Amino acid sequence: MVARKLAGQATAEELLELEDLLRSDERMRAQFQLLQQYFTASSAHRAANTEQALERTLRKIRGDREGTPAPRVLRWRWMAAAAVLTGAIVAGVNFWPKGNMKRQMVAVTTDTSQWLSRQNGKATRAVIELADGSKVWLNADSKLQYPPVFGKNSREVYLTGEAFFNVVAGADRPFVVHLSQGMVKVLGTSFNVRAYENEPVQTSVTTGKVAFIPRTADKQDTILITADEKVTYRATSGDLTKVVTSAEDEKAWTEGRLVFKDIALEDICLELERTFGKKVQFASDEPRSFRLTGAFKDNNLQDILYYLSRSKPFRYVITDSLVMISK
């Protein structure tokens, strides 16, 4: 059961039973926490084969990694923890009583305490490799939560902000991106998801096909998206639209490019805030609604504002922490 818990394959009943055991036995709880610490460290941010990860964990517990025996005061505890893990692997028998189905669902959906999390501030981007080999480009001001090892039936992550996913195909394990306003479900494809707070959700596809399921799925059908298509969902009104787009432009940010096509200056400035980490304020309201078009690659903030201001008449001042725009 311990092995299945660390591998992300434990059933809801096993998780509940393990929680009861750890709550009642302080020594076992300490051993489990130590084992969990080593296992998580060996699995993070890379494709993780469960058996290999467990073997690495056992080697660490035995003190083999440094080539020296473990300190005497910890040796017994480490051996006990290893025995618990090995026993769980060898036994392979489920002794856990059946529990209430509702209780099982709560355990499955809320047990993310051991998940990994990457949160980018403004002016920061990252590339993350998930346990199945899928890659995620996480944009600025965004957060991704994901397990060290995926379960055998599904692959699920939680996203706030924007990310580009290149998902390894797996017909038996759908890949699901949970958003506050819905979810995206795929088997193997590459796609971009933009789901910042207080903004419409946007999903575009580079290769393959994805399904976007809005939060109000009981009122609206799931919508399928193929290459060079984009769906925009406005939760406040329930509006769901699909248009033709350029997938390369939608993921331009992963390559250091910014592409604006007939976009209001106010929305452009939100993107500039995230990209460069400087707060943008408007001294007058008129420039907010200016609609602009432009494409930039590896340009600094000064250059971008200069070229945009050549298209529409607005002024700007850049300080160490602020950009002020006026008529």
pLDDT in tens, 98-115: 333 233 323 333 467 789
Cβ atoms 267, 280 nearer than 8 A: no
Structural domains for the chain:
2-110 (no CATH), 116-249 (2.60.120.1440), 256-326 (3.55.50.30)
pLDDT in tens, 188-204: 899 999 999 989 999 99
Least confident of 3-7, 205-209, 271-275: 3-7
Nearest to 149 by CA among 38, 81, 47, 33: 47
With tokens 């193997």, the residue in question is: 188
What contacts 55, CB < 8 A, 6 or more positions away?
Answer: none
The stretch 133-142 carries a mean pLDDT of: 96
Instruction: State if pTM tops 0.75.
Output: no
Least confident of 56-65, 179-188, 251-260, 295-304: 56-65
Cβ atoms 54, 149 nearer than 8 A: no
Where does residue 164 rank: exposed (0-12), middle (13-18), buried (19+ CB within 10 A)? buried
Which pair of tokens denotes residue 143?
């957060």
